[in-house]
Amino acid sequence: MLKLRFPLPVFRNSKEIVSGKNSRMALKGIVANKAALIISSSFKNSSHYDQLIRLINSESVLVIEKSWAGEPDIKNLAPTISELEIYKPDYIIALGGGSVIDGAKLAWMFYENPSVDQNDLYKPFSLPPLGSKSKFASIPTTIGSGSEVSSAAVMIDPESMSKKAVVTHDFLSELVILDPELVSDVSINILKLSIADALSHAVEGYVSRVNHPIMDSFAEKAISIIHKNSQFFNDTKFSIEMITDLQNASMLAGIVQNHCVVGMSHAIAHQLAVHNIGHALANGILMPHVIDFNMQDEATKFKYSNLCKNSGIQNIDQIKTLFKILVENQEPSVSIKNREIKKICTNALDDPAARTNPVSFYEDDVNKIMKYIL
Residue 217 shares a structural domain with residue 366: yes
Residue 2 pLDDT grade (very low, low, confident, very high; cuts 50, 70, 90): low
Mean pLDDT across the chain, nearest whole number? Answer: 93
pTM score: 0.94
Mean pLDDT of 136-141: 97
Residue 256 within any structural domain of the chain? yes
Rounded Cα distance, 63 and 44, in Å: 10
Following CA atoms 30, 32, 34, 40 in sequence, which dihedral angle do they give, to the nearest 10 degrees? -20
Torsional sign, CA 119, 125, 130, 135 = positive
Q: Does residue 6 register a pLDDT over 90? A: no
Residue 11 within any structural domain of the chain? no
* CATH code for the domain in which residue 351 is found: 1.20.1090.10
Residue 270 within any structural domain of the chain? yes
* CATH code for the domain in which residue 22 is found: 3.40.50.1970
Residue 178 shares a structural domain with residue 193: no
Residue 230 shares a structural domain with residue 341: yes
First to last CA, the chain: 44
Last residue of a domain, one of 123, 155, 182: 182
Q: Which tens digits make up the pLDDT trace of 232-285?
A: 998 888 999 999 999 999 999 999 999 999 999 999 999 998 888 999 999 999
Three-state DSSP class for 235?
coil
Residue 229 shares a structural domain with residue 173: no
Residue 79 within any structural domain of the chain? yes
Q: DSSP characters for 295-338? A: TTSHHHHHHHHHHHHHHT-S-HHHHHHHHHHHTTT--------H
Residue 131 shares a structural domain with residue 270: no
Number of domains the chain is built from: 2
Last residue of a domain, one of 150, 182, 214: 182
Residue 147 shares a structural domain with residue 32: yes
Rounded Cα distance, 80 and 8, in Å: 38
Cα 199 to the chain's mean position, in Å? 11
* 72 and 103 Cβ atoms separated by less than 8 Å: yes
Domain interval for residue 153: 16-182
Residue 166 shares a structural domain with residue 221: no
Residue 219 shares a structural domain with residue 156: no
Residue 218 shares a structural domain with residue 98: no
Residue 210 shares a structural domain with residue 137: no
